[in-house]
Amino acid sequence: MKYFSHQNVTSAKEGVSCAKDCNGKASFIAGGTDLLGILKDNLLPTYPEKLINLKTIEALAGVENLDGVVRIGALTKLSALERDLEITRNFPALASAAASVATPEIRNAATLGGNLCQDTRCWYYRYPNHMGGRMDCPRKGSGPCHAVLGDNRYHSVVDGKRCFAPCPSDTAVALAALGATVEVLGIEGAKNLPIEEIYSPMGTVLKAEEILTHIDIPAPPPESIQGFKKFTVRKPIDFAIVSIAAKVNITNGIVDGANIFFGAVAPQPYRDEAVESALIGEKFDTKSIAKAAGQALVKAKPLSMNAYKIDIARTLTVELLESFII
Amino acid sequence: MDSARQFRHIGKGTPRKDGRQIVTGGTKYIDDLTLPGLLYGKVLRSPHPHALIKNIDTAKAEQAAGVKAVLTHKNAPDWKFGIPRVVALLDKKVRYAGDAVAILAAESEELALAALELIEVEYEVLPAVYDIDDAMAEGAPVLYEEFPCNLLPTQSIAFGPNTLKEVILGDVERGFAEADVICEANTSYDNIPNPLPIEPPGVIARWDSPDELTVWSASQSVGWHRFMMMGKMGFPEIRSIGTQCGGSFGSKNHSPQPFFYAAALAKVSGAPVKMLYTKEEHFGAFVLRLGSRFSGKIGLKRDGTITAIEGEWLVDTGAFSDQAQTQIAVGLGEVQLVLRCPNWRLIPKLVCTNRAPSGIVRGFGGQELESSILPVFMEAISKAGLDPVDFLKKNFVKPGEGYLWREGNWWVSRGQDYSEAVEEGAKTFGWDEKWKGWLTPSSVNGRKRRGIGVGVHGNADVGEDESEAYVRLTPDGGAVIHANVAESGMGQRSSLIKMVAETLNLPLEKVSMTEPDTLVAPFEFGLTGSRGTWAVGTAVIRAAEEALKKLHEIAAPILKAKAEDLESADGKIRIKGSESQTLSWRRALGVFHTVTGHGSFEPDYSMPNFMMLFVEVEVDTGTGQVSVERVVAATDAGQIIDPPSLEGQIYGALGAAGLDTAVFEETVIDRRTGRNLNMNLIDYKWRTFEELPAFDNVILENPLPSHRFGAIGIGEISTSPGPAAVLMAVSNALGTRLTSYPLSPEKILAAVKSAGEVE
Amino acid sequence: MSYERSNWIKFHVNGDCREFAIGARPGELPPSETLADTLRERLGLTGTKVGCDRGSCCSCTVLINGVPSLSCMTLTVECDGASVTTIEGLPDPATGELDPLQQAFIDHTAYQCGFCTPGMIIAAKALLTEVSSPTEEEIKVALGGHYCRCISHYHVLDAVADAAGRKR
């Protein structure tokens, strides 16, 4: 890797002010499993002069239950999350999403915040610089999106705009279905926003000096059922081709609330209101599930090679929701 | 397994000689080696798939910190490689995205990479071609002026003046007239997968004088870096030393590009240079499989007799041919081994395209041709209503039957009838119970449909090329094998040691082998085509026998017996059958002497081996996922030398651009920019621990007339039957014929949909 | 390029204490250096293998504070205070006796080219430390990211299960 300097910080506030002092020439490093690959491949037109290490912020690692809201520090490792009793008991969708990421070695290093903020896996974007030069694209500030006329089998089928790379995060999909919000600390202080709002077609909306510090998940109603499923070619190491997270409330056999989010189909976890409304008010059974699944991604405008994702999304919907039937 | 033959070591699983080193991290691979004053080489690569270098300015790079040599097409040595020899070390034209533009050497990798960024290049971008048909079309962009329509000669003299360049036998018109079923098709195996050993290729070069080059490399066949390279460089003396090789699967027999780069930079800088490819270079600028397409027709009788095969075999070699012509020759031989037919007209065409070059990969032409041609046969066999196991069993070559082999001669098999192995394999797999007929799943469970398939491959290269070895007996009752044999994962060094220990009746720990080094050992072609067991084995066995004979001749007068009446065990000589008098080797030789025997092997293509792979898959019609559930491999090894090593070779069917090229392996080239899009281990799919199918090996041991142990090798062919077997299995599971590789979710879902529409 | 005041870091490798000055000057360890490079280039511990250098093959796996970690995706500067175990650290330092896992790999010939073997043994070591008799499924999950192109997997599963049995 090309040279960069390195600084440990012990609080998010210190991290923000350190980044501010660097005038956009620093990057934050958490688990590093995504960032170091980006730096090794020299993917971006800019290269950080400094890495600001967030792992030394002890306060941001761990899970705590605060009166009906579970607060997860962004530096919590995925391997810790998949084993945490609070998470496995009350948020199995998140535990399952965390456990589905990459490999045990990656999850031992990767953090929840990093999983949420990781850069896109678009294979044009990821073209390594030393193999003939990086490929420019709108996300890098210039050039066309190569995926539109190229090999877009893994790209977004909905909501893409200028860039058609889907959000690669598995945990984001689960957190969206669970109604989570994130806390972001910036120069002007902290703000909270729903998880799916940190994503835009061009990447996360976080500014260079902003740090995602916490993830807050409201306690799920006791009658709700939740889960996460991910379709990949292989179990380990693969990013989702399509994933789904759902939280469904059922009262007296009738669905009275449904959060259905798909992953790897859009720049953000994609809320599928068509599936949700097809479920709500219906008796929760295989028939209504099949009908709702048929609505999955009806608004999709697939590119030339990725319409198959819609079929997979519908299959996953059936599979996940049917697993909720006791 | 046959237990009638009793051996001391042969046939028993014994620890590999290098085992302790491997498990303690002590084994030295090429990147573990360093030399005093070592420089690090790096390559500047082209952004364009096809372009002329109009101008290149290296002035700033030459002045950069730590840089000791910078080479471009303007000042590089005039060394060429490829068949024909037209590929320059560095050219003013680039022919694939990632092709080399300039190379440099610096004191560290970081300095070398920094200096690369200072080289300024101006290109004239040319249109590019990626597809066989496009490349041959009138007016297509031409990669080499010498080769209009991008057609390279299929003829080479690699295997002598009559090197096989086509199969023309009998009378195809008459053959088709006799046929009950004729199928015509255009089928491809062109997903150009990467053999992708875990260790990227690497070479260290050092010039000891202007005419003497020493190279260290990760190579499967260490001699290649001497005898394959000398002529390309004006015949300097080359000493080639092998390190442990972190996997090869053919691709690292030699590494011409890194070899040339390291040697050229070392020459200019006057210092040793290490050229170790990154994984991305390994993916995008080293060795891919050949692209392959069969376009033609075949004829069958209802009883499964093949009456005629006629067509074109279109081979896509990418930017240049390294060994494509030799792979064509072997592929043409191998297809005759598995498809017995009196009437042939099979003409290859070799095409170059603007993507990274193809080279040697396990399966060597045969896998490519068979994976393209077997799907056509599947259609014909199903029309004839035949069971594919019966058909394939009927149609591979049996003892007494002949075939044209790669060097152009007609050979008659004196090997094994593998029918017994096939029958045993089918029984173990449960073929008869699972086979429900063509395009019929063996079971259906909701979305999940199971299907079975079968493939076969054969190879007569198990006896290819020349080997020589010395065995030196030492007074302490030990033996040293001087042979230039690499360890690239086959366990072959340990297996050869077993053969010698068995021949000399010594404990394994008393036998050792010199490290691979062309200076130390006599000629050895290398570990190609599964030749290690028979060809190299013959050389070391004969050397051991000769050494022992010499020793017995020395001992005979002392023991007052005839040399031929003596036998030796554990470093002691005695008269055969007598218990009383023994003479130690030390006493026979004296402390200050050794005795050396020489052994050799000459090519013999009369003993083809075969392997049949039975495959069961489960296809999820809701997600398009293909899951390989069960594999049974059936073959006959004559005699197993080392069971775990042999099993490892067969399990290798899954990896190294083998069976999985039908499931998920492919190199994705962007058709607009020529860029290779999946140069990483996430987007390039490989089999993990969590997707291991149940895998059974059925290995018979009917001794073969090879050498004293009756063994032949089979690792070369284990990858080859898989792709066609998977294609058949998935077609049967879905009830619709699939003909293209790999069977990605989108293809499966599309097939499910179109089958649904038909219903 | 910014030249900072040198900082020293200290960590243990196979029980030995190692100290490095961090910085950009000659002889200093740049903050951009990975643990894999430090182990291999500075400490000569070449048993840790770099396959892909992108965290996708697991051949560079070492234990950091007992946790299987990708040394190619770890900055050495961030190992301050840690305890690192590499394949060279598994045999008994006094007797040279192999770890039961290493012996089981030899006994089952659980390798072909051997390049991926150190990483697999390290990951399996962590598994057996945590779970004394893992199921086959648990072994597969623990080794799920380990790339082996030769397909040594079947023999590796036997070796790990055997080593677990021997430990009991």
A108: nearest CA partner in chain C: C69
pLDDT confidence band for B757 (50 / 70 / 90): low
Say if residue C40 is in the same domain as residue C84.
yes
Mutate to test the interface with B, among A100, A155, A234, A242 (most CBs of B within 10 A): A234
Smallest Cβ–Cβ distance between A1 and the set C32, C78, C141 belongs to C32
| pLDDT mean across residues, chain B | 96
pLDDT confidence band for C168 (50 / 70 / 90): low
| Neighbour subunits, B (≥3 Cβ pairs < 8 A) | A, C
pLDDT confidence band for C3 (50 / 70 / 90): very low
Q: What is the mean pLDDT of residues B3-18?
A: 88
* C94 within domain boundaries: no
pLDDT at C140: 98
Yes or no, beta carbons of B245 and C109 under 8 Å apart = no
B664: nearest CA partner in chain A: A233
Smallest Cβ–Cβ distance between A127 and the set B622, B675, B745 belongs to B675
Smallest Cβ–Cβ distance between C32 and the set A4, A55, A237 belongs to A4
HSE value, Cβ hemisphere, 13 Å, CA-based, for B176: 13
User: Model confidence over A106-128: pLDDT tens digits?
Assistant: 999 999 999 999 999 999 999 99
ipTM of model:
0.97
User: Model confidence over C20-52: pLDDT tens digits?
Assistant: 999 999 889 999 999 999 999 999 999 999 999
pLDDT at B12: 96
Say if residue C26 is in the same domain as residue C85.
yes
* C76 within domain boundaries: yes
Yes or no, beta carbons of B25 and C45 under 8 Å apart = yes
Proportion of chain B above pLDDT 70, given as a percent: 99
pLDDT at A326: 75
Yes or no, beta carbons of B681 and C105 under 8 Å apart = no
Give the separation between CA B725 and CA B131, rounded to whole angstroms. 26
Residue A89 has pLDDT above 90, yes or no: yes
pLDDT at C141: 98
* C112 within domain boundaries: yes
Type of residue found at B615: V
* C95 within domain boundaries: no
Proportion of chain B above pLDDT 90, given as a percent: 97
Q: Element (H or E) spanning B567, and its range? A: strand B566-569
Say if residue C11 is in the same domain as residue C83.
yes
Domain that holds residue C60: 7-89
User: Model confidence over B82-99: pLDDT tens digits?
Assistant: 999 999 999 999 999 999
C101: nearest CA partner in chain B: B23
What sign does the dihedral C133-C138-C140-C141 (CA atoms) show?
negative
Which chain C residues are closer than 8 Å to A108 by Cβ?
67-69
Scan for tokens 């999985």, then name that residue. B660
User: Model confidence over B375-422: pLDDT tens digits?
Assistant: 999 999 999 999 999 999 999 999 999 999 999 999 999 999 999 999
Say if residue C15 is in the same domain as residue C82.
yes
B102: nearest CA partner in chain A: A132
pLDDT at B759: 53
Mutate to test the interface with A, among B276, B279, B621, B623 (most CBs of A within 10 A): B623
Residue C5 has pLDDT above 60, yes or no: no
C41: distance to nearest CA of chain B, Å? 9
C105: nearest CA partner in chain B: B23
Yes or no, beta carbons of B745 and A233 under 8 Å apart = yes
Of A64, C115, A192, which Cα lies nearest the Cα of B21?
C115
HSE value, Cβ hemisphere, 13 Å, CA-based, for A254: 5
Give the separation between CA A128 and CA B280, rounded to whole angstroms. 8
Yes or no, beta carbons of B648 and C90 under 8 Å apart = no
Of B529, B484, B437, which Cα lies nearest the Cα of B720?
B529
Interface of A with B in 42-81 (CB under 8 A): none
* C65 within domain boundaries: yes
C66 interface with A at CB cutoff 8 Å? no
Say if residue C107 is in the same domain as residue C55.
no
Which residue, C63, C89, C115, sits at the end of a domain? C89
Q: Residue B207 forms beta bridges with which residues? A: B213
Proportion of chain C above pLDDT 90, given as a percent: 92
Domains of chain B: 40-126+201-276 (3.90.1170.50), 291-462+606-758 (3.30.365.10), 465-601 (3.30.365.10)
Say if residue C44 is in the same domain as residue C83.
yes
Residue C13 has pLDDT above 70, yes or no: yes
pLDDT at C2: 44
B624: nearest CA partner in chain A: A312
Q: What is the mean pLDDT of residues B572-594?
A: 93
Smallest Cβ–Cβ distance between A149 and the set B625, B672, B677 belongs to B672
B693: nearest CA partner in chain C: C154
pLDDT at B700: 97
pLDDT at B755: 83
Which residue, C32, C67, C89, sits at the end of a domain? C89
Yes or no, beta carbons of B199 and C51 under 8 Å apart = yes
Residue B579 has pLDDT above 90, yes or no: no
Residue B121 has pLDDT above 70, yes or no: yes
Smallest Cβ–Cβ distance between B648 and the set C49, C86, C112 belongs to C112
Which residue, C33, C66, C89, sits at the end of a domain? C89
Residue A222 has pLDDT above 60, yes or no: yes
Size of interface A-B (CB pairs under 8 A): 111
**Are B559 and B578 spatial neighbours (Cβ–Cβ below 8 Å)?**
no
Yes or no, beta carbons of B45 and A132 under 8 Å apart = yes
C34 interface with A at CB cutoff 8 Å? yes
User: Model confidence over A130-173: pLDDT tens digits?
Assistant: 999 999 999 999 999 999 999 999 999 999 999 999 999 999 99
Yes or no, beta carbons of C149 and B16 under 8 Å apart = no
Smallest Cβ–Cβ distance between B27 and the set C102, C114, C145 belongs to C114
| Neighbour subunits, C (≥3 Cβ pairs < 8 A) | A, B
C57: nearest CA partner in chain A: A237
Give the separation between CA B716 and CA B249, rounded to whole angstroms. 8
pLDDT confidence band for C6 (50 / 70 / 90): low
A128 interface with C at CB cutoff 8 Å? no
Q: What are phi and psi of B18, to 5 degrees?
A: -95, 10
Give the separation between CA B386 and CA B378, rounded to whole angstroms. 9
A305: distance to nearest CA of chain B, Å? 8
- For strands A224-231 and A242-251, give the pairing: antiparallel
Give the separation between CA A186 and CA A209, rounded to whole angstroms. 6
C148: nearest CA partner in chain B: B198
Residue B279 has pLDDT above 90, yes or no: yes
| pLDDT mean across residues, chain A | 97
* C132 within domain boundaries: yes
Give the separation between CA B97 and CA A73, rounded to whole angstroms. 44
Say if residue C12 is in the same domain as residue C85.
yes
DSSP state letters, A101-137 = SS-HHHHHH-BHHHHHHPPP--TTTT--GGGT-PPP-
3-class secondary structure for C4-68?
A: CCCEEEEEEECCEEEEEEECCCCCCECCCCEHHHHHHHHCCCCCCCCCCCCCCCCCCEEEECCEE
**Are B630 and B693 spatial neighbours (Cβ–Cβ below 8 Å)?**
yes
Yes or no, beta carbons of A131 and B679 under 8 Å apart = yes
Yes or no, beta carbons of A150 and B670 under 8 Å apart = yes
Yes or no, beta carbons of A105 and C53 under 8 Å apart = no
Q: What is the mean pLDDT of residues A173-178?
A: 98
* C81 within domain boundaries: yes
CATH number of the domain at C110, please: 1.10.150.120
C91: nearest CA partner in chain B: B24
Mutate to test the interface with A, among B670, B679, B748 (most CBs of A within 10 A): B670
pLDDT at B3: 45
Yes or no, beta carbons of B691 and A318 under 8 Å apart = no
Domains of chain A: 224-324 (3.30.390.50)
pLDDT at C1: 39
Say if residue C84 is in the same domain as residue C123.
no
Give the separation between CA C75 and CA C32, rounded to whole angstroms. 7
Smallest Cβ–Cβ distance between A236 and the set C30, C70, C144 belongs to C144
Give the separation between CA B40 and CA B278, rounded to whole angstroms. 12
A148: distance to nearest CA of chain C, Å? 27
Yes or no, beta carbons of C145 and A50 under 8 Å apart = no
Smallest Cβ–Cβ distance between B25 and the set C51, C118, C151 belongs to C118
Q: What is the mean pLDDT of residues B240-260?
A: 97
Mutate to test the interface with A, among B101, B279, B677, B688 (most CBs of A within 10 A): B677
Size of interface B-C (CB pairs under 8 A): 165
CATH number of the domain at C62, please: 3.10.20.30
Yes or no, beta carbons of B198 and C149 under 8 Å apart = yes
Question: How many domains are there within chain C?
Answer: 2
A123 interface with B at CB cutoff 8 Å? yes
Give the separation between CA A296 and CA A316, rounded to whole angstroms. 10
User: Model confidence over B457-496: pLDDT tens digits?
Assistant: 999 999 999 999 999 999 999 999 999 999 999 999 999 9
A233: nearest CA partner in chain B: B625
Give the separation between CA B164 and CA B369, rounded to whole angstroms. 15
Say if residue C114 is in the same domain as residue C158.
yes
Say if residue C109 is in the same domain as residue C84.
no
Residue B437 has pLDDT above 80, yes or no: yes
Type of residue found at B734: L
**Residue B84, preceding peptide bond in cis (omega within 30° of 0):** yes
Long-range interactions of A251-255: CB distance < 8 A, separation 24+: A251/A223, A253/A283, A253/A284, A254/A281, A254/A282, A254/A283, A254/A284, A255/A279, A255/A280, A255/A281, A255/A282, A255/A283, A255/A284, A255/A288
Say if residue C14 is in the same domain as residue C80.
yes
B572: distance to nearest CA of chain A, Å? 54
pLDDT at B758: 57
Which chain B residues are closer than 8 Å to A131 by Cβ?
45, 97-98, 280-281, 284-285, 675-676, 679
Q: What is the mean pLDDT of residues B676-698?
A: 98
3-class secondary structure for B512-527?
A: EECCCECCCCCCECCC
* C115 within domain boundaries: yes
Say if residue C77 is in the same domain as residue C105.
no
pLDDT confidence band for B580 (50 / 70 / 90): confident
Which chain C residues are closer than 8 Å to A102 by Cβ?
145
